């Protein structure tokens, strides 16, 4: 069957339940609260002492509980979880585990009479010790598990490479009324009703697993229990979230899928060894593939992120350097040495994506050290450019360069950020070295007169026609799903353009500084001087399109 989820063979199926209620904070304002428990301290348990939501692994006897449930049948539950069968086991386990750990039971008596959860407490221990199954419990007490209020909200899989992995489905529901939570003092040693903000507060000092922290952050967007439930119900799909382990300056850490290093870590370490780094450090040579090595320059900053990436591309004894980096100094001399040390063979040519001062100046020193020619293009306008740049040959759009045995780089002229901007496509690996044409995690500044917004959008759109699997940007980690990234960049620029049009329409004739706060109201004021450059690029594009008019320093709608 297509679309059926196949659980990881080394992970245990588990379920967890977020019980929600409406409360008030210290000022008396209404807040959403969620029930959390603090796990017992146990040697060798990564979750020891952590604050978590009730839940645990499925019991094989949870399947027998299907006949004692109110709510979805197994076919409906399985379809929602993307399973061929057994989906209802997760709903049953979530309710059972919650009863075992915190004493709250989502259930109804078969005869409609009220039941006393406290009187059922002895069965919590029997269930916890696996002496009985949930069907035995329900039959003995004449109960049906009430699953009608459970909403499936997320799916997390523990990173590969850890000793114990859990494939966990998370549900949320309103906490049952007229029941008091009570810790089992086995798994749960303390219970807490907390707002997400309270649970996340550093001063509270809770040990939070990455999944718990992210879940609390998501819950914190909602002002009430019902709002959180409605948002969960509105999800059309519930994607699998599988963090990765990575090395860092503080030891192993967990990286989530929306973090910048994630795709690169997944590519280089699918088994979860934990030896791929989650940070970019100057001078470190990173083998991205048999044909690609990255060395980051020591020039971090607001416009360069962790530093400019220089790449070595090749095979055997022939290697090509792409973007040698900023002007050598006492610190960046070390970058030239790092590049020379990282190259497995001779550097036979030096390519430059563009001549901004964080990308090209070191080409002269590297050329002097290796005798390799410098290839690139000269910018149309000298502003913001490397004034000493000189190339032995101007590269042309669509020409191919040999970069070693089985390595072909195709040149793509991609003006916009700079008139002379080039990208280089390693055809054998469908990897595009993007310079600053596509950044990771941010948009690039388009700075006239050399920068051109119209050209930038055209060049971005052209990338959608190329067969590309990975972006290797001038700043940041490898970027996956390049078409989605490009479409998002285009959409962002068009949304910004729409804001420029709206500002021109509502503000009347205005100088550029008068339009800036309205067009970039979502950008911190400290970044407005940089944003003003891109705003000018948008205005010049709209002027070319016949939509905007410039008259004596004042912009208006045409």
Q: What's the rounded Cα separation, in Å, for the pair 547 and 347?
A: 49
At 44, is the pLDDT very low, low, confident or very high (cuts 50, 70, 90)?
A: low
**Under a CB-based contact definition with an 8 Å cutoff, are residues 179 and 104 in contact?**
yes
Q: What is the average per-residue pLDDT within 222-230?
A: 97
**Under a CB-based contact definition with an 8 Å cutoff, are residues 150 and 94 in contact?**
yes
Q: What is the mean pLDDT of the chain?
A: 95
145 pLDDT exceeds 90?
yes
Domain spans of the chain, in order of start: 11-239, 243-275, 280-480, 498-557
Cβ burial, residue 384 (10 Å; 0-12/13-18/19+): middle
Q: What is the average per-residue pLDDT within 206-233?
A: 97
Residues 6+ apart with CB under 8 A from 88: 66, 69, 72, 73, 74, 77, 78, 147
Place of tokens 């948009």: 443
Q: In terms of CATH, what superfamily is 280-480?
A: Ribonuclease Z/Hydroxyacylglutathione hydrolase-like (3.60.15.10)
43 pLDDT exceeds 80?
no
Q: 470 to each of 359, 413, 473, 493, how far by Cα in Å?
A: 20, 18, 9, 22
Residue 468: phi, psi to the nearest 5?
Answer: -125, 135
180 pLDDT exceeds 70?
yes
| Two tokens, residue 522 | 């979502």
For 175-323, strand residue ranges (E) read 188-194, 240-241, 244-246, 253-255, 285-289, 292-296, 309-315, 318-322
Q: What's the rounded Cα separation, in Å, for the pair 390 and 486?
A: 31
Q: What's the rounded Cα separation, in Å, for the pair 411 and 353?
A: 10
Q: What is the average per-residue pLDDT within 59-81?
A: 97
196 pLDDT exceeds 90?
yes
Class for the domain spanning 11-239: alpha beta
| Two tokens, residue 530 | 């940089």
CA atoms within 13 A on the CB side of 405: 5
At 417, is the pLDDT very low, low, confident or very high (cuts 50, 70, 90)?
A: very high
Between 140-154, 314-328, 329-343, 409-423, the lowest mean confidence (pLDDT) is in 329-343
**Under a CB-based contact definition with an 8 Å cutoff, are residues 249 and 279 in contact?**
yes
331 pLDDT exceeds 70?
no
Q: What is the average per-residue pLDDT within 330-340?
A: 85
Cβ burial, residue 170 (10 Å; 0-12/13-18/19+): buried
Instruction: Tell me what pLDDT residue 28 has.
Output: 87
Instruction: Tell me what pLDDT residue 112 has.
Output: 85
CATH of 498-557 among 3.40.50.620, 3.60.21.10, 1.10.10.10, 3.10.450.50? 1.10.10.10
Whole-prediction pTM? 0.92
Q: What's the rounded Cα separation, in Å, for the pair 292 and 320?
A: 10
Q: What is the average per-residue pLDDT within 396-408?
A: 96
| Two tokens, residue 355 | 């001549």
**Under a CB-based contact definition with an 8 Å cutoff, are residues 339 and 346 in contact?**
no
Instruction: Tell me what pLDDT residue 332 has.
Output: 59
Determine how many CB atoms are found less than 10 A away from the CB of residue 184.
20
* 83-127 pLDDT tens trace: 999 999 999 999 999 999 999 999 999 998 889 888 899 999 999
Instruction: Tell me what pLDDT residue 360 has.
Output: 97
% of the chain at pLDDT higher than 90: 91
* 490-543 pLDDT tens trace: 999 999 999 999 999 998 899 999 999 999 999 999 999 999 999 999 999 999
Q: What's the rounded Cα separation, in Å, for the pair 487 and 458?
A: 12
Q: What is the average per-residue pLDDT within 351-367?
A: 97
Give the dihedral sign, CA 404/410/416/420.
positive
SS (H, E, C) 184-217: CCCCEEEEEEECHHHHHCHHHCCCCCHHHHHHHH
At 1, is the pLDDT very low, low, confident or very high (cuts 50, 70, 90)?
A: very low
Place of tokens 């080394």: 10
Residue 276: phi, psi to the nearest 5?
Answer: -95, 140
330 pLDDT exceeds 70?
no
């Amino acid at each position: 069957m297509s679309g059926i989820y196949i659980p990881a063979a080394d992970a245990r199926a588990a379920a967890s339940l977020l019980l929600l209620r409406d409360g008030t904070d210290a000022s008396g304002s209404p807040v959403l609260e969620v029930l959390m428990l603090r796990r017992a301290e146990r040697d060798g348990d990564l979750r020891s002492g952590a604050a978590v939501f009730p839940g645990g692994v499925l019991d094989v006897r949870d399947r027998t509980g299907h006949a004692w449930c109110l709510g979805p049948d197994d076919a409906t539950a399985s379809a929602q979880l993307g399973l061929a069968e057994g989906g209802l086991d997760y709903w049953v386990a979530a309710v059972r585990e919650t009863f075992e750990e915190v004493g709250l039971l989502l259930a109804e008596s078969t005869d409609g009479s009220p039941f006393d959860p406290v009187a059922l407490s002895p069965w919590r221990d029997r269930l916890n010790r696996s002496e009985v199954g949930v069907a035995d419990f329900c039959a003995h007490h004449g109960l049906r598990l009430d699953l009608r209020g459970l909403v499936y909200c997320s799916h997390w899989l523990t990173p590969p490479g850890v000793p114990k992995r859990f494939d966990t489905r998370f549900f949320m529901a309103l906490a049952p009324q007229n029941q008091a939570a009570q810790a089992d003092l086995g798994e749960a040693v303390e219970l807490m009703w907390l707002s997400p903000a309270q649970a996340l507060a550093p001063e509270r000092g809770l040990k939070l697993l990455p999944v718990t922290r992210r879940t609390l952050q998501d819950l914190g967007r909602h002002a009430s229990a019902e709002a959180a439930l409605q948002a969960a119900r509105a999800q059309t799909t519930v994607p699998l979230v599988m963090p990765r382990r990575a090395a860092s300056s503080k030891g192993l850490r967990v990286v989530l899928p929306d973090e910048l290093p994630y795709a690169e870590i997944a590519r280089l370490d699918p088994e979860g060894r934990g030896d791929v780094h989650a940070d970019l450090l100057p001078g470190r040579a990173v083998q991205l593939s048999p044909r690609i090595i990255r060395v980051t320059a020591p020039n971090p900053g607001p416009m360069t992120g962790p530093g400019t990436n220089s790449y070595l591309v090749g095979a055997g004894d022939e290697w090509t350097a792409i973007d040698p980096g900023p002007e050598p100094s006492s610190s960046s001399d070390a970058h030239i040495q790092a590049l020379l040390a990282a190259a497995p063979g001779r550097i036979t040519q030096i390519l430059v994506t563009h001549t901004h001062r964080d990308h090209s100046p070191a080409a002269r020193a590297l050329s002097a050290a290796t005798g390799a020619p410098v290839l690139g293009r000269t910018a149309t306008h000298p502003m913001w450019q490397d004034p000493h740049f000189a190339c032995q040959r101007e590269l042309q759009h669509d020409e191919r360069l040999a970069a070693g045995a089985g390595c072909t780089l195709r040149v793509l002229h991609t003006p916009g950020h700079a008139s002379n901007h080039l990208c280089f496509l390693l055809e054998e690996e469908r990897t595009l070295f993007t310079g600053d044409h596509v950044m990771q995690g941010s948009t690039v500044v388009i700075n006239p007169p050399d920068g051109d917004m119209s050209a930038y959008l055209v060049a971005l759109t052209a990338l959608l026609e190329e067969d590309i699997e990975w972006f290797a940007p001038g700043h940041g980690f490898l970027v996956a799903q390049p078409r989605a990234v490009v479409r998002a960049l285009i959409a962002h620029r068009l949304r910004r353009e729409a804001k420029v049009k709206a500002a021109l329409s509502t503000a009347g004739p205005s100088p550029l500084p008068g339009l800036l706060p309205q067009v970039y109201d979502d950008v911190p004021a400290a970044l407005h001087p940089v944003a003003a450059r891109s705003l000018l690029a948008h205005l010049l594009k709209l002027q070319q399109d016949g939509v905007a008019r410039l008259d004596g320093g004042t912009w208006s709608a045409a």
